[in-house]
Amino acid sequence: MSSSLRIAIGSDHAGYELKQHLVAFLAAQGHTVDDQGTHSTESVDYPPICAGVGRTVRDGKADFGIVLGGSGQGEQLAANKVRGVRAALCNCLYTARMARSHNDANVLSMGARVVGVGLAEEIVTTFLSTAFEGGRHARRVAQLTELENEF
């Protein structure tokens, strides 16, 4: 994994246990982790939590964000409502690598009911250690930003 990073992380109740594990995993890797909740398995609405993670990344207070839920779908959608966020649902190593190298994704979304702890660690490691390739992909990311600004 790359040098020490600042990572904002948040989840709903379904992602709580995986979030707790990843907070410890990331801290053990030397990263600074901003745990934005939830702080239990009690049912909670995820949109404000995931948008908060996105705002933290957008505002430069974190290098990357991670959002977790049962499937990761809603969490990705909520994070993507924040201008400047490129959240990617990655439940395998290939999508984690492509999200970073081709899309310059800055928020990782995963489904705790989809991936196990070991795979989640590998996905996080791949996501955080994969560089954006730039080149033709930079042009496409710029087009995404233009679309975001248009709407």
Residues identified as active-site: 102
- Amino acid at the residue 117: V
Does residue 38 have a cis bond before it (omega within 30 degrees)? yes
| Helix (H/G/I), strand (E/B), else coil: 115 | coil
Cα separation, 46 vs 19, in Å, equals: 13
94-121: string of b/e by CB count within 10 Å (b at 16+)? ebbbbbbebbbbbbbbbbbebbeeeebb
109 φ/ψ angles, rounded to the nearest 5 degrees: -115, 140
